[in-house]
Structure 1
Amino acid sequence: MQDKYQLLRQHFEEIVTLTDEEWNFIAPHFEHKKLKKHQFLIQTGQPVDCEFWIINGLIKSYAVDEKGSEHILQFAMEDYWVSDYYAFQHQIPATIFVDCIEDSEFFCLSLESRETICQKIPAMANFFRIKSNYGFIGLQQRILSLLTQTAEERYDALLFKLPKLVQRVPKKLIAAYLGVSRETLSRFKG
């Protein structure tokens, strides 16, 4: 288990420097969890108690429309953070689903713990600010790609940017992420 916490510390220290004393304050705020394939981290209408840092595994966040169609917002794998951030930040019921595509292991951080860590350790406030900026950039790029690229161009970009992800995700989920049918996806050269 100590090795898992060491991975988390290394993740933080890719961006900020922490003393041992700071780390000893931070570590107990994180709860280690494991879930099996198809188990939910978050379900629509339920409280969103945590944000999650993925140690290993693969997660998807998505919404379901009135017709029952899945609209995938994000795939998250090792070293990614995931949650229903709107519900998490405002402490309201979830507006999306987040579940495991693979058996997954992660650390959970409550909003209260995150706020406490950021107040006590300015470097961590900086870490979360930078990570949030990366998230906004990723979201902006995703929206722009949906507005300006064809589905095939988005697929090619996904293959280029995250080739290992595409190998791990079932084709029907890639199609849902791109907003096309499974049949359309099969026609792409990629």
Structure 2
Amino acid sequence: MQDKYALLRQHFEEIVSLTDEEWNFVQSHFEYKSLKKHQFLIQAGQAVNFEYWIINGLVKAYSIDDKGKEHILQFAMENYWVSDHYAFQNQETGSIFVDCLEDSEFFCLTLESRELICKQVPAVANFFRIKSNHGYINLQQRILSLLTMTAENRYEYLLNKLPKLIQRVPKKLIASYLGVSRETLSRFNS
């Protein structure tokens, strides 16, 4: 387990420096969780008590509309943070689903613990500020790509930005994420 915590510390220290004392305090607030492929991390309509850092594995965050159509918001893999951020921050029930596309391991952090460690260790508050900014930038780029790029350009953008993701996610889900049919996606590959 210490190896997994070492990975988490390395993740934090890519952005901020922490003393051993600070790290021991931070690490004490994380819980470990392991799920199998197809298990849910978050389900719409249920409490969202944690945000999750992915140690290893791959998840899909999505919503389902009134007609039963799935809308993929995000794929998240190692070193990503994932949650229903609105529900987590406001301590409400979730409106999205997050399920595992692979067997996955996580470190879980409650809102109360995050607020406490941010208050006690200012470097961690800075870490979360920077991570939030990166998340907003990625969200903005995703929205702009949907509004301004052709489907083929969105696919090429995804290939360039996340080449390993394409190898791990079924084509059907990549097509759904890009907003195209599987047949259209197949034409991009030929």
TM-score by length of 2: 0.98
Gaps of 5+ in 2: none
Secondary structure of the 1:106 match is strand
SS at match of 1:38: coil
**Shift, 1:156, TM fit:** 0.7
- Name the aligned partner's letter for residue 179 of structure 2: G
In structure 1, the residue matched to 2:69 is 69
Residue in 2 aligned with 1:25? 25
Share of identical aligned residues, percent? 77
How many residues align? The count is 190
1:158 aligns with 2:158: yes
Aligned-residue offset at 1:189: 3.2
CA distance in 2, matches of 1:52, 1:166: 22
Measure the CA separation in 2 of the matches of 1:74 and 1:171: 15
Distance 1:109 1:34 in 2: 14
CA distance in 2, matches of 1:118, 1:13: 15
Following TM superposition, where does structure 1 have runs of at least 4 consecutive aligned residues deviating by more than 6 angstroms? none
The residue identity in structure 1 corresponding to 2:140 is: Q
Alpha-carbon RMSD: 0.8
Letter in 1 for 2:15: I
For 1:68 and 1:175, the matched residues in 2 are separated by: 17
2: CA distance, partners of 1:189 / 1:113: 45
Q: What does residue 105 of structure 1 align with? A: 105
Question: Structure 1: how far apart are the matches of 2:86 and 2:150?
Answer: 29
- 1:116 CA displacement: 0.3
Is 1:142 aligned to 2:142, yes or no? yes
Instruction: Tell me which amino acid in the other structure corresponds to 1:121.
Output: V
Q: Residues 70-108 of structure 1, C-alpha deviation per residue, up to 9 Å, x if partnerless? A: 110000000000000000000110010011000000100
> Which sections of structure 1, spanning at least 5 residues, go unmatched?
none
Please list the CA deviations of residues 46-81 of structure 1 after superposition, one character each: whole Å capped at 9, or x if unmatched.
000000000000011001112211110000000000
